[in-house]
C-alpha cells in the first residue's frame, strides 16, 4: 500500500554499508538488509534513502513522509521516481498497520541512561554526546532490546505488556529522531524476506 498524498511516515530499511567496490571494480552505495547487500542504484536513490532517516535538527518531534523526503531533493521528479523504486525494492517502508509485524529495530550505538537528560526525570540519553537523542523509558526499553525480538510488535509487548499499542506509538513517534543520529536501524522481522 502506498500513500499518494505523502502523509504516512516513511523509514529506510537496512544498515548503510557505504560505498562498496564490487567484484567487477564498480563502486556503489550499498545497504545490508538481513543477509543481503542491496545497491542504491543511483546517486538520487542514495540521497532519498539517506534523507529518509531524517536530518538532525529537523526531526524534533516529527516524522518524515514521502512528501518531506522528495521535497528536500534538488530534483523532485527524479526523487519521486527513486522513492517509488526504493519502496518497491523494500529499501523504504511506509509505517502502516502491518509495519510492526514486518520489521524490527536494531540498536547501533550505546545508551547513557540518565546522563545529559536536561534535568528531566525518566528521560534517557542514547548515543554519543554530539549525536544523541533523548527518549522516555518505554522507547529506551524497545531500543535496547529490539534485536532480541523477532518483530517490533513483540519488543513493544515486552517493554509495556499492559499497553503494547502505547509502546508502539511512542516508538513510531521517536523513530526518526533515533534514525537521524544513527541510534537504530530498521531491519526485516526475523524470518522476513525482502519485497521484490
**What does the pLDDT look like over 75-85, one tens digit per residue?**
999 999 999 99
Three cell numbers written together for 66: 514521502
Q: How far apart are CA 180 and CA 165, in angstroms?
A: 24
At 64, the pLDDT band (50, 70, 90 cuts) reads confident
pLDDT value at residue 163: 94
Q: Flag whether pLDDT at 196 surpasses 50.
A: no
pTM (predicted TM-score): 0.85
State the average pLDDT over residues 24-42: 91
pLDDT value at position 57? 67
3-class SS of residue 31: strand
Which stretch of 56-60, 70-74, 110-114, 174-178 has the lowest confidence by average pLDDT? Answer: 110-114
Phi, psi angle pair for 133, to nearest 5°: -140, 140
- Contact present, 195 and 35 (Cβ < 8 Å): no
Residue 6 confidence (pLDDT) above 60: no
Q: Rounded mean pLDDT of 126-132?
A: 71
Q: How far is CA 157 from the centre of its chain?
A: 19
> First vs last Cα of the chain: how many Å apart?
14
**Does the pLDDT value for residue 97 go beyond 90?**
yes
pLDDT for 99 equals 96
For cell 564498480, the residue is 26
**Residue 100 to residue 106: CA distance in whole angstroms:** 13
Percentage with pLDDT > 70 across the chain? 82
CA–CA dist 103, 191 (Å, integer): 10
E-state strands within the chain: 10-12, 15-21, 27-33, 36-40, 92-94, 103-107, 111-113, 123-126, 133-136, 184-188
pLDDT at 118 over 60: no
What's the CA gap between 64 and 173, in Å, rounded?
10
Q: What angle do CA 115, 119, 124 make, to 5 degrees?
A: 40
Amino acid at each position: 500500500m502506498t500513500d499518494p498524498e505523502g502523509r504516512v511516515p516513511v523509514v529506510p530499511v537496512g544498515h548503510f554499508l557505504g560505498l562498496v567496490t564490487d567484484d567487477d571494480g564498480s563502486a556503489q552505495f550499498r545497504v545490508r538488509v538481513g543477509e543481503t547487500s542491496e545497491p542504491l542504484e543511483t546517486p538520487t536513490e542514495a540521497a532519498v534513502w539517506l534523507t529518509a532517516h531524517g536530518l538532525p535538527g529537523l526531526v524534533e518531534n516529527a516524522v518524515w513522509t514521502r512528501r518531506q523526503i522528495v521535497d528536500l531533493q534538488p530534483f523532485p521528479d527524479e526523487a519521486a521516481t527513486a522513492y517509488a523504486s526504493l519502496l518497491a525494492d523494500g529499501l523504504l517502508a511506509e509505517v502502516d498497520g502491518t509495519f510492526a509485524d514486518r520489521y524490527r529495530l536494531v540498536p547501533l550505538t550505546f545508551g547513557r541512561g540518565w546522563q545529559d537528560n536536561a534535568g528531566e526525570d525518566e528521560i534517557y540519553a542514547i548515543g554519543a554526546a554530539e549525536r544523541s537523542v533523548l527518549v522516555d523509558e518505554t522507547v529506551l526499553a524497545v531500543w535496547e532490546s529490539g534485536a532480541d525480538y523477532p518483530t517490533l510488535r513483540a519488543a513493544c509487548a515486552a517493554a509495556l505488556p499492559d499497553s503494547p499499542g502505547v509502546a508502539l506509538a511512542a516508538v513510531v513517534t521517536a523513530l526518526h529522531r533515533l534514525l537521524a543520529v544513527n541510534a537504530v536501524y530498521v531491519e526485516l522481522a526475523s524470518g522476513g524476506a525482502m519485497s521484490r
